[in-house]
């Protein structure tokens, strides 16, 4: 099947979540996920297997906890990764009224938004390898049960693309997508360098929509105030393309003006400086991270990021899910 077919299958899957319909949504999961698909979800859900695992381990608990559950998409893209595999990816919000416990989070009986991003390696029109990122800290901040100190940046809901064109059905022009990919990869190669070689690839008034625990920033100087201290808190810091670490991206691809990366884990560094209120632990920490980028001309202008922070903090001996349950 073609990349266009994969994108159509992915968009059809999420189309079933436009309105609350549990039967239609379970059927969509069964069609989209292969029976033996390896499905990885942010902590505390973690590893699932196949469509049945997604339904029992992810979807049914959501149905029980959130009344009127539906999905609001912001980005949906598809393409061929650096290693020749075909992928689909996107992000948005799951929305519903929080009626029952979910992942140990007590119900609020209020409208609730769960930020979600997903990646799927496709074969014969089905997902055979999947990664689903959830911004659990954003949910906890939203309902007043976040157990850490306030984030460095703002942490309101994350908007979609300023151009409102993240949901195109067609695949981007091949040459244009290749240039988008090059800009992203060249920027990534400049991270964690003394001369901040990543700077020339960004618009001066870029938007960085980070995970809620880190916050969101407008402008390259505001982003720098986050990025440099983050890098400095970890010795041997490296990402999914870095020769410094064994971590790698499971995918990197572009579709028109959009590009993305993901790793499970992606970033690695030894925790040698204070960060998020934690004194150095000396633990070599691996972060599950993903990004989507949008470019205008030759510059990146928007960047959406997820980090599975509950999983990372477990490596430091801190159980965020247990701590939030005490509040």
Q: Higher model confidence: residue 152 or residue 285?
A: 285
Confidence of residue 15 (pLDDT cuts 50, 70, 90): very high
- Do 3-142 and 174-324 fold alike per CATH? yes
For residue range 32-84, what is the model confidence (pLDDT) as tens digits? Answer: 999 999 999 999 999 999 999 999 999 999 999 999 999 999 999 999 999 99
In this structure, what token pair is assigned to residue 261? 């990366």
Q: What is the pLDDT of residue 124?
A: 96
pLDDT above 90 as % of the chain: 90
- Sheet architecture: strand order including 46-49: 46-49, 33-41, 126-134, 111-123, 86-98, 66-80
Q: What is the mean pLDDT of residues 104-121?
A: 98
SS3 292: strand
How high is the pLDDT of residue 240?
Answer: 92
Flag whether pLDDT at 224 surpasses 90: no
Task: For residue 72, give the H/E element and its range.
Answer: strand 66-80
pLDDT for 192: 78
Q: Please, which pLDDT band fits residue 158 given cuts at 50, 70 and 90? A: very high
Tell me how far CA of residue 108 lies from CA of 36, 98, 139, 202, in angstroms: 36, 6, 11, 40
Which option is the CATH number for 174-324: 3.20.20.70, 3.40.50.300, 3.10.450.50, 3.20.20.100?
Answer: 3.10.450.50
User: How many residues comprise the chain?
Assistant: 327
User: pTM above 0.95?
Assistant: yes
Residue 273 and residue 192: Cα distance in Å, rounded?
15
Q: What is the DSSP string of 147-172?
A: -SPPPSSB-SPPP--TTS-TT-SSPP
Residue ranges per structural domain of the chain: 3-142, 174-324
Q: Show the DSSP H helices in 170-266 as ranges.
A: 174-189, 220-232
For 3-142, CATH gives: 3.10.450.50
**Cβ-based neighbours of 252, under 8 Å, separated by 6 or more:** 81, 82, 181, 184, 185, 240, 241, 259, 260, 261
Structure token digits, residue 237: 């810091």
In the predicted model, is pLDDT for residue 312 greater than 90?
yes
Can you give the pLDDT at residue 325?
97
């Amino acid at each position: 099947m073609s990349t266009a077919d994969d994108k159509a299958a992915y968009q059809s899957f999420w189309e079933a979540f436009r309105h609350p319909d549990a039967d239609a949504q379970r059927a969509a999961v069964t069609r989209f996920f292969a029976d033996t698909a390896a499905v990885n979800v942010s902590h505390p859900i973690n590893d699932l297997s196949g469509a049945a695992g997604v339904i029992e381990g992810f979807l049914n608990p959501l149905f029980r906890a959130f009344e009127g559950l539906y999905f609001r998409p912001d980005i949906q893209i598809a393409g061929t990764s650096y290693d020749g595999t075909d992928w689909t990816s996107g992000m948005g919000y799951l929305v519903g009224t929080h009626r029952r416990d979910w992942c140990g989070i007590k119900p609020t009986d209020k409208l609730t938004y769960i930020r979600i991003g997903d990646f799927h390696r496709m074969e014969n029109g089905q997902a055979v390898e999947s990664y689903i990122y959830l911004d659990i800290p954003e949910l906890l901040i939203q309902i007043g049960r976040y157990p850490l100190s306030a984030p460095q940046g703002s942490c309101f809901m994350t908007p979609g693309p300023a151009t409102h064109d993240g949901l195109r059905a067609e695949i981007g022009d091949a040459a244009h997508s290749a240039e988008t990919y090059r800009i992203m990869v060249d920027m990534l190669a400049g991270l964690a360098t003394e001369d901040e070689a990543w700077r020339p690839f960004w618009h001066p008034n870029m938007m960085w929509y980070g995970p809620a625990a880190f916050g969101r920033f407008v402008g390259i100087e505001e982003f720098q105030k986050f990025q440099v201290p983050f890098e400095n808190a970890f010795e041997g810091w490296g990402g999914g393309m870095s020769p410094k670490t064994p971590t790698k991206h499971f995918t990197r691809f572009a579709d028109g003006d959009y590009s993305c990366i993901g790793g499970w884990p992606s970033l690695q560094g030894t925790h040698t400086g204070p960060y998020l209120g934690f004194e150095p632990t000396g633990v070599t920490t691996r972060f599950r991270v993903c990004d989507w980028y949008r470019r205008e001309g030759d510059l990146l202008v928007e960047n959406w990021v997820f980090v599975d922070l509950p999983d990372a903090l477990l490596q430091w001996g801190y159980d965020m899910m247990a701590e939030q349950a005490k509040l």
